[in-house]
Amino acid sequence: MDLQLKHPLAFVPTMGALHAGHQSLIKIAESHAPNVLVSVFINPLQFENPDDLAKYPRDLDGDVLKAEAAGATFVWSPTVAEIYPEQPTIISSGKTGNLFEGVRRFGHFDGVLTVVKRLFDLTTPQFAVFGEKDFQQLFLIKQMVRDLALPIEIIEAPIIRDADGLALSSRNIRLTSDSRTIALVLSRALSAAAQEADVDSARKLLFEVLKSEPGFTVDYAEIIDESDFSTATNQTESPRAIIAGWINDLRLIDNMKINCGGMR
């Protein structure tokens, strides 16, 4: 496998079904290095449900066009055999990987870290860009890079939202008109919580708004200390609200930094 990459290189790993959120990552990558690699690889290790893997949207031709339009220098779509020519050594996501998303998606973050490390090994980028949309994933990747002393700078990219507040996600393509209306409860709950005067009130309101939408089934809704994923208190310097839940068989996640009325 010869990618013939040029350095310095900024890397944007994706699972395809690219949208404006991915394109924003590519543009950020372009601001850090003259060469930008976008990978499109649906990693089987991070799907605990085979049906979810089968349903994941795929549009490689469209992905290439969108990546190039956003400024990608290279678009790479490796096969499973290229990424895992032999049984991979699984990288543990540790205690934090078993919280929140990790509770319902056992082994998910181990699969994420394993593929990201493998992609890093194959491409040796100087920079890699990940969005805050998957905040727990971002946290764990940054932790892995520190723990393994990898010579890569992780660039954090802000969440991109539609005009109605819905965070962009490849899974949104599966939303019907009615379920998309239901999905707006996520951003509505986060925005409401962000206006509260203290963490306890914000946490309570977060649940109340989510529970007010009968079409949405809450998995978790919490305000954490984004520095270590512990439960936030009024003394926490960097609180962040994280939520996840279901609309029928579709799982959605979202998060937002919480200021709590300028208490800090």
Answer whether residue 262 is part of any domain: no
Domain tally, the chain? 2
| Contact yes or no for 113/13 (Cβ under 8 A) | no
Instruction: Enter the DSSP assignment of 92.
Output: P
Do 140 and 38 lie in one domain? The reply is yes
Query: What is the CATH classification number for the domain harbouring 35?
Result: 3.40.50.620
> Are 166 and 179 contacting, i.e. CB atoms less than 8 angstroms apart?
no
- Among 101, 135, 157, identify where a domain stops: 157
Specify if 132 maps to a domain: yes
Provide the token pair at 10: 């900024």
Going by pLDDT thresholds of 50, 70 and 90, the confidence category of residue 260 is confident
What pLDDT band is residue 261 in, cutting at 50, 70 and 90?
A: very low
Cα separation, 7 vs 2, in Å, equals 14
One domain for residues 91 and 222: no
Q: Residues 226, 106: one domain?
A: no
Domain of 128 in residue numbering reads as 9-157
**Claim to verify: residue 80 and residue 58 sit in the same structural domain:** yes
Same domain, 40 and 63: yes
- Percent of the chain surpassing pLDDT 90: 92
**Residues 21 and 130 both lie in one domain:** yes
- What are the tens digits of pLDDT across the range 35-92? 999 999 999 999 988 888 998 999 999 999 999 999 999 999 999 999 999 999 999 9
Q: How much is the pLDDT for 262?
A: 43
* Spatial CA neighbour of 130 closest among 14, 32, 37, 42: 14
36 beta partners: 10
pTM (two decimals): 0.95
In a domain, 264, yes or no: no
Residue 236 lies in a domain: yes
Tell me the two tokens of residue 198. 């203290």
Residue 213 main-chain phi, psi, to 5 deg = -105, 105
Q: Same domain, yes or no, for 138 and 62?
A: yes
Count the Cβ atoms, other than its own, within 10 Å of residue 250. 18
Tell me if residue 22 is catalytic: yes
Q: What angle do CA 50, 108, 43 make, to 5 degrees?
A: 60
CATH number at residue 215: 3.30.1300.10
Is residue 99 included in any domain, yes or no?
A: yes
Q: Which residue, 99, 126, 157, sits at the end of a domain?
A: 157
Say whether both 37 and 144 belong to one domain: yes
Domain boundary among 131, 157, 183: 157
Establish if 162 belongs to a structural domain.
no
Token pair belonging to 100: 């929140």
- Specify whether 34 is located in the same domain as 78: yes
Same domain, 81 and 102: yes
CA distance 218 to 104: 12
Choose among 213, 129, 223: nearest CA to 179: 213
For 196, residues 6+ apart whose C-beta sits below 8 A from its C-beta are 202, 205, 258, 260, 261
Tokens of 62: 């469209």
The whole-chain average pLDDT of the chain stands at 95
Catalytic residue among 19, 22, 32, 108: 22
Clarify whether residues 114 and 142 are in a common domain: yes
Q: Are residues 149 and 193 in the same domain?
A: no
Is the residue at 252 inside a domain? yes
